[in-house]
Structure 1
């Protein structure tokens, strides 16, 4: 059994209000963490606020909150609120997000991402420690939290390539990555180093029907890997040639051709699938490669309900 075993909430297809029964039993199943996300569904903080009351044994984290879509002070306020609800059990995960989310959906210029995340990280360190902060880099003058948490939360940084990974190693408490294989974990560790915590969301489809899992996986891969930050990530990881036909077809507007161009081996690398036992074994391969905290994201499919999948993929199922 690994030291940590996380679950992504909210789960796809399950209304947030219906998560209580799932979340309340997580620690009994061996899960240690619940991590939210923020794209075009639930915000990152509300599910964790609920989870803090439903299962007070879980460590809670955001993976991730964009540094662009909230002002620095509001981001500090929301982090402090969660830290107060879950003292010593909240981890703030921040990152740049993507041009699609930041600029196309929120109308905020997606400029200087490295500088923005670095400067916000430095501001958050001071603000969450209770300091009065004036920081020209993020445009803040004289901000001080009312009721800073007694124990400031750890801050982890979304990092896909060497620049951000090195920043995470220098100034954050760990790094969050995404969409990678166990072998890729070794590549990431080679830059991050052995000390910092390394977290990754793993997309898991517990089904013995490999073709169904690959069909679902191809849609997910096409949606993500055509985003520039992920395309660059996989170019660095060495999948540029394997994904070029997909990217070329996608750019030409040929969605069907793009899906067909994704090789089986790429899907099998990036989507955990098979029987629940095989999926648990695969997750442990990530841990053996250097991943500190696997965060299971249950992919619908395979005939299991979300609650059944959570139980089947739990460490206690061994």
Structure 2
């Protein structure tokens, strides 16, 4: 699978009203977005992927990410085979290890040895009756060990909540062949205060998770940056401003080695589909 251009990462497409999700997916395809990315934080993710595949004709539907603790390799491979048989080569499986506080919340101590867990999950996909092809899966890789595993065992990487500098490091780590598909959070607004009002608490929730915080420390941000959600950190992770400002950030990822960038739009109402914002960005990013 060769994925380029710009996509949309959206929790609304996964967890919002099903009818509007299908309608929005069809419109996003018409607007030219190359992929639709959805999270996996509970519920029947393969049903959600199928729903979006049925609503579209050519657009890739990707998991960002499939939480490996919530699924068996056998179930995953069988679902992939079924969806691919029905819809062709349009399901890109992003796989990740999630985060200890989330996984251990329901079963303390379950999250351990994430690299080994990912390796075992990939072994299961390879050994299934209908294996998931390497080129149809990408890993949510932030640190050097997971990036190395992705280069060896997957079609690429899907880093979430990263600045262009991480995209550059990811490209160097995986080489020229694998896909680099970062997520970029954006806020269409006029002022920093408006961006902060929408994005600060959202960002603070992610920074409480050790995998994201640790990655930012590796990238040269300080513990104080992370703790306070400094302007420097906020601006590095959330692109805000008008359409031109968002385009500049997407172009920075591309210049750093990204094959495809998926944009996640934040608005004051996190439950609403940001359809007007998607339309504005489609015109600017095409």
TM-score (norm 1): 0.80
Give unpaired runs (5+ residues) of structure 1: 131-148, 247-260
Q: Deviations over 1:191-227 (max 9, x none)?
A: 2223210112211111122212123222122111121
How far is the alpha carbon of 1:11 from its aligned partner?
2.3
Q: Is the 8 A contact 1:44 1:64 kept in 2?
A: no
How far is the alpha carbon of 1:106 from its aligned partner?
5.2
Q: Deviations over 1:125-172 (max 9, x none)?
A: 232645xxxxxxxxxxxxxxxxxx8x8871111111000000000111
Q: Is the 8 A contact 1:207 1:301 kept in 2?
A: no
1:218 aligns with 2:186: no
How far is the alpha carbon of 1:187 from its aligned partner?
2.1
1:206 aligns with 2:207: no
Q: Which residue does 2:153 correspond to in 1?
A: 171
Q: Which residue does 1:258 correspond to in 2?
A: none
Give unpaired runs (5+ residues) of structure 2: none
Q: Matched residue of 1:45: which SS?
A: helix
- Pick the aligned partner of 1:312 from 276, 280, 284: 280
Q: Is the 8 A contact 1:35 1:62 kept in 2?
A: yes
Q: Deviations over 1:227-247 (max 9, x none)?
A: 111111111111134435x1x
Q: Which residue does 2:26 correspond to in 1?
A: 24
How well do the aligned residues superpose, as a CA RMSD in angstroms? 2.5
Q: Higher helix fraction: Structure 1 or Structure 2?
A: 2
Give me the whole-angstrom Cα distance separating, in 2, the residues matched to 1:193 and 1:185.
Answer: 12
How far is the alpha carbon of 1:315 from its aligned partner?
4.8
1:126 aligns with 2:93: no
How far is the alpha carbon of 1:20 from its aligned partner?
2.1
Q: Which residue does 2:71 correspond to in 1?
A: 70
Q: Which residue does 2:41 correspond to in 1?
A: 39
Distance 1:283 1:209, change over 3 A: same
Q: Which one has the largest radius of gyration?
A: 1
- Pick the aligned partner of 2:245 from 248, 262, 278: 278
Q: Deviations over 1:52-107 (max 9, x none)?
A: 11111101111111111122222222222322232111111111111122221355
Q: Is the 8 A contact 1:61 1:90 kept in 2?
A: yes
1:111 aligns with 2:79: no
